[in-house]
C-alpha cells in the first residue's frame, strides 16, 4: 500500500503542474466497528498534503528540496492499522486539552473534575480517547488556488470526564506554500479547550537515516517553563539565556539535546518543554519556530496565534514503530512543534486560561509554512 499511496500523491503533483487540483477523497481503512476512514489529498502544484479523518490527522506532506525533489517530511503510517495499534499522535489533532494536566485533576467553577491518567501520573492530550482517537466527518472541500478540507466532530458532555458538549472543526488549506490550519470549538456549558496539531517533522524525509538532530532550530522566546520529573511545569518562567533551551539564534537540535548537566534535559530525556512566545493569545499568527534542514535546504516556519509552543525532540521514539518508508522510527528521528496554551494551565492561573464558555469560539490558527529554498 505504501508504494501505491505515494505514487498516487506524486501523480497529483505531476498532473497538476502549477495549477491547483480538486481535493481527492479515497478510502483509508475501516475501523473495527465498520466505520469507514477517508484520506483527502490536497495539492496546489507545489505541496501535496494528505489528511485522514481518523484524528483529523496530517498523514503525509510532500515538499520539494532546492533541486525540486519531492520527499514526504511527515512521520506516520501507510494504513489505518498502524494508527490504531500505536498512534504516537502522528499528525493528529490533540485535545480536548492538549499537553498535560497534573494528576488528571482540575477545578472549574468550584467543581472538581477527574480526567483519565495516561502519561505517568498525569493526563496527556485529552486522555485515553482524546480527539486523536475520534473519527471526524468531512464537512466540506474546496478546490481552486487554495484547496481545502474542513472536518468536524462533536465531543459529548462528560467525554473523558470533561464537562459540556463541544463542537469542533478542523480546516486544512494550502495557501502559498503553507498548510493553513484553523481549529475552532464551541460549547454548551463551561469547559476547557486547548487544541494543537502533533505532526512529527523530518525535513530530510521521514525515516531518513540521519534523523532530525541536524535540523537547525530557531525559537524566538526569552523564557521557557521548566518541569518536574513528570513533565508538569513548576510554575516558573525561566530565562533561556545560558541554557540548552536558548534557540533565539539558529542552533542544531542535537547540539545540546544530550546535555546531562542540565536537569531539565535529564527529566525530558531531551526536549519536551513549552517555550513562552507571549503571555496571551495574539490577534493574528506570529512566528513561533523555524526549522532548516541544511542538506536539502528545506525550511519549515511555524506560525500561530497561541502564546506557547511545545518543542519535543522525539525522545521516546523507540524503534518499535515501522513508518511509511519501511524504516524504524528511532529516538531523535523527528521534531514536534505544537502551538498551544501552556501545559497544566487549568491548575496554573498565572499561565492564563483555557476556559471556554457558551457563546465563545475557541480558535487556534496555525501555519506550517515551507518557503521556497535556493
| 91-131 pLDDT, tens digit each | 999 999 999 999 999 999 999 999 999 999 999 999 999 99
Query: CA Rg, the chain, in Å?
Result: 19
Residue 126 shares a structural domain with residue 151 = yes
Residue 374 pLDDT grade (very low, low, confident, very high; cuts 50, 70, 90): low
For the beta carbon of residue 70, count every other beta carbon within 10 angstroms.
Answer: 18
For residue 327, give the CATH number of its domain.
Answer: 2.70.98.10
Considering the chain, what percentage of its residues have pLDDT values greater than 70? Answer: 94
Residue 6 above 50 pLDDT? no
Give 320: exposed, middle or buried? Use CB within 10 Å, 0-12, 13-18, 19+. Answer: exposed
With respect to residue 57, please indicate whether it lies within any of the assigned structural domains: yes
**Mean of pLDDT values over 217-235:** 98
* Residue 333 to residue 339: CA distance in whole angstroms: 20
Structural domain tally of the chain?
A: 2
C-alpha cell at 11: 501523480
Query: What are the CA-CA distances from residue 217 to residues 289, 313, 326 (Å)?
Result: 7, 11, 27
For the beta carbon of residue 110, count every other beta carbon within 10 angstroms.
Answer: 5
Beta strand ranges found along 98-241 (DSSP E): 100-101, 105-108, 111-114, 123-124, 137-142, 148-155, 166-174, 178-187, 191-192, 196-197, 200-201, 216-218, 223-225, 238-239
In our burial notation (b when 16+ CB lie closer than 10 A, e otherwise), range 269-300 reads ebbbbbbbbeeeeeeebbbbbbbbbeebbbbb
Residue 183 shares a structural domain with residue 227 = no
Residue-number span of the structural domain to which 107 is assigned: 2-197
What pTM does this model have? 0.94
Residue 332 above 80 pLDDT? yes
In the set 24, 88, 125, 198, the catalytic residue is 198
Residue 217 shares a structural domain with residue 285 = yes
Residue 372 has a pLDDT of 80
Residue 94 shares a structural domain with residue 174 = yes
Active site residue 338: yes
Amino acid at each position: 500500500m505504501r508504494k501505491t499511496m505515494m505514487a498516487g500523491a506524486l501523480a497529483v503533483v505531476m498532473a497538476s503542474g502549477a495549477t491547483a487540483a480538486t481535493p481527492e477523497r479515497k478510502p483509508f481503512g475501516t475501523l473495527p466497528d465498520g466505520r469507514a476512514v477517508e484520506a483527502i489529498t490536497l495539492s496546489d502544484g507545489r505541496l501535496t498534503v494528505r489528511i485522514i479523518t481518523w484524528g483529523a490527522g496530517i498523514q503525509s506532506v510532500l515538499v520539494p528540496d532546492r533541486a525540486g525533489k519531492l520527499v514526504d517530511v511527515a512521520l506516520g503510517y501507510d494504513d489505518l492499522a498502524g494508527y490504531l495499534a500505536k498512534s504516537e499522535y502522528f499528525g493528529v489533532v490533540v485535545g480536548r486539552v492538549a499537553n498535560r494536566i497534573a494528576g488528571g485533576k482540575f477545578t472549574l467553577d468550584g467543581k472538581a473534575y477527574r480526567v483519565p491518567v495516561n502519561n505517568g501520573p498525569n493526563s496527556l492530550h485529552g486522555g485515553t480517547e482524546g480527539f486523536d482517537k475520534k473519527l471526524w466527518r468531512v464537512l466540506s472541500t474546496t478546490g481552486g488556488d487554495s484547496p481545502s478540507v474542513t472536518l468536524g466532530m462533536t465531543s459529548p458532555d462528560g467525554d473523558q470526564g470533561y464537562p459540556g458538549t463541544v463542537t469542533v472543526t478542523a480546516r486544512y488549506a494550502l495557501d502559498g506554500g503553507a498548510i493553513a490550519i484553523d481549529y475552532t470549538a464551541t460549547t454548551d456549558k463551561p469547559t476547557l479547550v486547548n487544541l494543537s496539531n502533533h505532526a512529527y517533522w523530518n525535513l530530510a524525509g521521514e525515516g531518513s537515516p540521519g534523523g532530525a538532530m541536524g535540523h537547525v532550530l530557531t525559537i524566538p522566546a526569552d523564557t521557557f517553563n521548566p518541569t518536574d520529573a513528570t513533565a508538569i511545569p513548576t510554575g516558573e518562567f525561566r530565562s533561556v539565556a545560558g541554557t540548552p533551551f536558548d534557540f533565539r539564534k539558529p542552533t542544531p537540535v542535537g547540539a545540546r539535546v544530550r546535555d546531562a548537566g542540565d536537569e531539565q534535559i535529564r527529566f525530558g530525556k531531551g526536549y519536551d518543554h513549552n517555550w513562552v512566545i507571549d503571555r496571551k493569545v495574539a490577534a493574528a499568527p506570529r512566528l513561533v519556530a523555524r526549522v532548516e534542514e541544511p542538506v536539502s535546504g528545506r525550511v519549515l516556519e511555524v506560525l500561530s496565534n497561541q502564546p506557547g509552543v511545545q518543542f519535543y525532540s522525539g525522545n521516546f521514539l523507540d524503534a518499535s514503530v515501522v513508518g511509511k518508508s519501511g524504516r524504524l522510527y528511532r529516538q531523535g528521528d523527528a521534531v514536534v512543534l505544537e502551538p498551544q496554551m501552556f501545559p497544566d494551565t487549568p491548575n496554573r492561573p498565572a499561565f492564563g486560561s483555557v476556559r471556554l464558555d457558551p457563546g465563545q469560539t475557541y480558535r487556534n490558527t496555525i501555519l506550517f509554512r515551507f518557503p521556497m529554498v535556493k
